[in-house]
A and B are shown apart, each in its own frame.
Chain A
Amino acid sequence: MSQTTTATPTSPAPTADGTPRRRARSGSWWQRLGPPAVFLALLLLIVVLQPNFFSGGGIRIVALQATPILLIALGQAIVIGVGSLDLSNAAMGLLAAILTASTLGSLGVVSPVLCVALVTLVGLVNGLVFAYTQVPSFALTLGTLGILQAASLVLSDATTVYVTANADVLAWMFNVALAGLPAAFWMAVVLAAVLWAVLRFTTVGQGMTAVGLNETGAIFSGLRTRWLKVTAFTISGFTAGLAGLTIIAQSGAASSFGLGSDLLLPGIAAAIVGGTAITGGVTNPINVVFGAATIALLPIGAAAVGVPPQAQSLVYGAVIIVAVALTMSRARGAVVK
């Protein structure tokens, strides 16, 4: 939520003008408890509709599907946190997946490291172009999205690329389970915790939050706002790369139209449902975990109430709009672009 839009120019003492504080409280209430509450409510609904959900290993499947979404969403949440948007990160994930699939056989362990590094670099370039040319992030990353999609299509020869050898370099991520959930999911959760700590306890994290809340104020405080934004986009590239690896680990193959080719909408939806304020400056990576789990649950819930699988995007789209509508602070006379 944005304090700046609610602030009144002549506001008497904060005490005499209850609005800003009241709104701050409702905002943080959603930020802290909203995402887990929504997740639990949806889980409850599904268990009621499909009593055999738990016994059928449903929660494991949800964690499996939530993992790439979560990784994409974490990067997205960080970028949204600095007040921007990265429309290209899902495409980066897919590119990383295709590159890994085609090189894993020949390069072995080096392949995933290289692919993640390459995609992180793409994120870095995104950030640099954004920070120094000041092309609005949605326009820039929309362009990058097109470029990356074309690259994926060309590199994969428009077919599905299969891992030919060394599949076990990555496959263990979903074969090894901890407390019933795949290791890859736990790794993503650990990453979320690390990002949470970065935002809460480091100067870089505080700086990114400041940029998201009020970039001008951050500039006039002497913060390195450009580098903070570059950092956010680089993180987005990095998590997208990891998401690409999980796609390969799951299926052993990737294509520019198959698994992983449609992570953009769920990624944004997970970030938003995870309590990330679309206006910037409010990001809680821990809650993004619940956001991603909710988004992974949705198709199951939707199927349970009879929505056809073809209409999945409809559900994601609707969820984004509803989540944003519910969490925006509708200050009187607020300006929306």
Chain B
Amino acid sequence: MTSTQQDPTRTTEAALVLDGIDKRFGQVHAVKDVSLTINRHEVLGLIGENGAGKSTLLKILTGIYQPDAGSIEVNGTQVRFRRPQDSVAAGIGVVHQEQSLLTNLSVAENLAMTASGSRRAGTRLGFYRWGRINADAAATLDRVGASIDPRTIVGDLSFVDRQMVEIARAVQVDEMVGGTPLVILDEPTSVLERNETEILEREIRTLKEIGSVVFVSHRLDEVLRICDRIAVMRHGELVAERRTDEVTEDELFQLMVGRAAQATQRDDRAGGASQTPVVAVQGLTRRGSFEDVSFEVRSGRTVAIVGTMGSGRESVCRALFGAETWDGGTIELEGTSLSAWSTVKAVKAGVAYVPSERRVEGMVGGLSAAANLTLSHPGSTRRGPFLDPRARNRTAATWFERLDVRPSDPSLPLGSFSGGNQQKVVMAKWLMAEELKVLVLDHPLRGLDPGAKEIVNEQIRAACRDGVAVVLLPDTLEEALEMGDDILVMRDGEVTGRFDLSTEAPTSLDLLEKMV
């Protein structure tokens, strides 16, 4: 462990140098001649739309893909990553977008799993040395500034705490190289609530003290707040590098998408439509997840429900869609009280649900995009029990054009599309139904790039104009304030606040107060 004696003042020394990295997949040029330097004790933001080549670049950095050309230098030594273990050995740790902890084991066990084989191996002759494992885990957690008991079962932790453990695990790579890890955070905030994001930000500052950070995110404001320097990728190329203090959010957006941002101010909706609520939830209770929840959604209006993890708002939404049961209270759909509610009945009645777990719940990746589009409401694309492929392709083509879905071939399996384009298809699957009455959106913008976000939001507004009642679980409070007509705040399963945005103008802070 000689390198621990590095002079901490040499902050400008490069931790990682990429030179002319190039990667093709058949016809597709995913990464074009990217040269990038990451300094010690620096937080570098990496931004770009879905498909800009960020993920491919990260996979090259973590040894999952091998570049066709170019070289990688870590701490001044040329390296070649043939497999993920090589990059770990070089001191590069990664926190993937989706959490990869084993939820039935303790925090310490999860951490020990990646530490094994090193000097801190937590086993002797194949037996666990519990004292050692727990002490080491505590030390690692302490180092990243997380106050979590290492004996806690991961499944019992909150989402943000799990993220902390993921980071602690990534930081462990430094024991291989002694002192200065490079940690890659791949969209760590896309699944966090705003207040949880603040905890993460603190975390990243701690990481900066001990090593370098590559921070990948879609949230430009966050990137600006957290990072020292920002690298922008577009169409596989590195199009810009900017110091955070010399760039604005608008400029970043333009660099990223190659055009100016459209104003996304709330338009004054005429409130329109009838006064009978489409959905009326009365005293809805499900033991252990929500209690006495009441609200109404009128035609053409959007109710945004905000709350932290564990607020129970997800369960309320799933109850609306028949995917979860409830013990008490009623849900009325256009005046009819629902009983023995199920997803089958919900879909038939014109209730739609865009789940946050898109790949698992929102779609069938192995079926073609066109089949997914018409799966729930075949409408005119079926004749009796038979499918009408020609009608289906016509319908799919129309929606693909309307939502600018790429690639533009609806016969490809939906699983092969990028996240943003998948979400467009998932939205279209419900929007195409004439019987659509209620649209329940669980984090519809999660993980989308700004371009796709604009399109999805525009579709939500269009649905409202057509008289659909929308229940929205937004990613951010800003999204709630932008898209909602009413805002419902939930905490620990109960409604703690209500705001009618046509008469009140709450700030994010007002909402936050009721959330925590």
Q: Is B475 on the interface with A (CB-CB < 8 A)?
A: no
Contact: B30 with A12, CB < 8 Å?
yes
- For the complex, is A11 an interface residue (Cβ under 8 Å from B)? yes
Q: Is the CB of B364 within 8 A of A210?
A: yes
For residue A10, which residues in chain B have a CB less than 8 angstroms away from its CB?
54-55, 58, 96-97, 186-187, 419
Chain A residues within an 8 Å CB radius of B387: 201-203, 206
Q: Is the CB of A4 within 8 A of B415?
A: yes
> Which parts of A217-244 form the interface with B (CB within 8 Å)?
217-224
| B378 partner, pick from A9, A203, A224, beta carbons under 8 A | A203
A18 touches B385 (CB 8 A): no
- CB–CB B366/A16 < 8 A: no
Residue of B54, B58, B361 near A216 (CB, 8 A) is B361
Q: A13 and B421: CB pair below 8 A?
A: yes
Task: Please give, as numbers and ranges, the residues of chain B lying within 8 Å of A18 by CB-CB distance.
Answer: 25-26, 28
Task: Please choose the segment from B220-228, B240-248, B346-354, B459-467 that sits at the chain A interface, where 4 or more of its residues have CB less than 8 A away.
Answer: B346-354
Q: Are B415 and A3 in contact (CB under 8 A)?
A: yes
For A222, what are the chain B residues with a Cβ–Cβ distance below 8 Å? 343-344, 346-348, 376
Chain A residue numbers with a CB within 8 Å of B366 are 1-4, 209, 213-214, 281-282
- CB-nearest residue of chain B to A277: B366
Q: Across the interface, do B385 and A204 meet the contact criterion of CB distance under 8 Å? A: yes
Size category of the binding interface on chain B: 35 or more
Cβ of B170 to closest chain A Cβ, rounded Å? 16
* A210 in contact with B367 given A11-B418, A13-B418, A217-B362 (CB within 8 Å): yes
Residue of B nearest to A282 (CB): B366
**Residues B25-76 near A (CB distance < 8 A):** 25-28, 30, 50-56, 58, 64
Check: A8 CB closer than 8 A to any chain B CB.
yes
Q: Give every chain B residue within 8 A of A32 (Cβ-Cβ).
A: none
What is the bound-complex CA distance between A49 and B70, given in angstroms?
A: 54
In the bound complex, how far is the Cα of B415 from the Cα of A9, in angstroms? 11
Whether B365 lies near A4 (C-beta < 8 A) is yes
Residues in B with CB closer than 8 Å to A221 are 347, 364, 372, 375-376, 429
Residues of chain B within 8 A of A17, CB atoms compared: 25, 30, 55-56
Question: A9–B416 contact, CB under 8 A?
Answer: no
Nearest-neighbour CB distance to chain A for B427, whole angstroms, equals 13
Contact partners of B96 in chain A: CB under 8 A: 9-10
The stretch from A20-28, A284-292, A309-317 touching chain B is A20-28
**B361 touching A220 by the CB < 8 A rule?**
yes
A129 to chain B, nearest CB (A): 20
Please determine whether A220 and B416 come into contact, CB atoms closer than 8 angstroms. Answer: no
Question: Is A14 positioned at the interface, with any CB of B under 8 Å from its CB?
Answer: yes
Q: Which residues of B contact A8 (CB under 8 A)?
A: 55
Question: Is A332 at the interface (CB under 8 A from chain B)?
Answer: yes
Contacts of A223 in B (CB 8 A): 344, 375-376
**Could you tell me if A213 and B367 are in contact, using CB atoms closer than 8 angstroms?**
yes
Please tell me if B283 contacts chain A, counting CB pairs below 8 Å.
no
Q: Which residue of B lies closest to A22 (CB)?
A: B26
A33 at the A/B interface (Cβ < 8 Å)?
no
B419 partner, pick from A11, A20, A214, beta carbons under 8 A: A11
Q: Report if B120 contacts A (CB, 8 A).
A: no
Establish whether residues A12 and B53, one from each chain, have CB atoms under 8 Å apart when the complex forms.
yes
- Taking a contact as CB atoms closer than 8 A, the residue among B343, B371, B407 that contacts A14 in the complex is B407
In the bound complex, how far is the Cα of B407 from the Cα of A244, in angstroms? 49
Counting chain A CB atoms within 10 Å of each CB, the highest count among B50, B53, B360, B367 belongs to: B367
Least CB distance, B144 to chain A, in whole angstroms: 23
Question: Which of A8, A221, A281 has the most B CB atoms < 10 Å from its CB?
Answer: A221
A14, B417: Cα distance in complex, Å: 5
CB of B323 closer than 8 Å to a CB of A: yes
List, in ascending order, chain A residues with CB within 8 A of B58's CB. 10
Closest to B375 in A: A221
In chain A, positions 239-266 with a C-beta closer than 8 Å to chain B are none
Contact in complex: B385, A202 (CB < 8 Å):
yes
Q: Which residues of A contact B186 (CB under 8 A)?
A: 10
Tell whether A3 pairs with B413 under 8 Å between CB atoms, given A10-B187, A13-B51: yes
Check B98 for interface membership: any CB of A closer than 8 A: yes
Report if A7 contacts B (CB, 8 A): yes
Task: Tell me whether A15 and B28 are in contact (CB under 8 A).
Answer: yes
CB contacts (< 8 Å) of A3 on chain B: these are 365-366, 413, 415-416
Residue of A nearest to B342 (CB): A222
A43 to chain B, nearest CB (A): 32
Whether the pair A332, B415 counts as a contact (CB closer than 8 A) is no
B421 proximity list for chain A (CB < 8 A): 13-14
State whether A220 and B343 are in contact (beta carbons under 8 Å apart), knowing that A16-B236, A214-B366 are contacts in the complex. yes
Q: What's the Cα separation between A24 and B361 when bound, in Å?
A: 21
Q: Which residues of A contact B64 (CB under 8 A)?
A: 332
Contacts A10-B58, A223-B344; is A4 near B359 (CB within 8 Å)? yes
Which residues of A from 272 to 305 have beta carbons under 8 Å from B? 281-282
- Say yes or no: B355 contacts A201, CB within 8 Å: no
Closest to B98 in A: A9
Closest 7 CB pairs of A and B: A222-B347, A13-B51, A18-B25, A3-B415, A213-B366, A3-B365, A3-B366
Between A and B, 30 residue pairs with Cβ closer than 8 Å are A3-B365, A3-B415, A4-B415, A8-B55, A9-B96, A10-B54, A10-B419, A12-B50, A12-B51, A12-B56, A14-B412, A14-B416, A14-B421, A16-B236, A17-B25, A17-B30, A24-B413, A202-B387, A203-B378, A203-B382, A203-B386, A204-B385, A209-B367, A210-B364, A210-B367, A213-B364, A217-B362, A219-B361, A222-B344, A332-B64
New contact pairs (7) apart from A4-B366, A13-B50, A204-B385, CB-CB < 8 Å: A13-B51, A14-B416, A15-B27, A202-B385, A203-B382, A220-B343, A223-B376
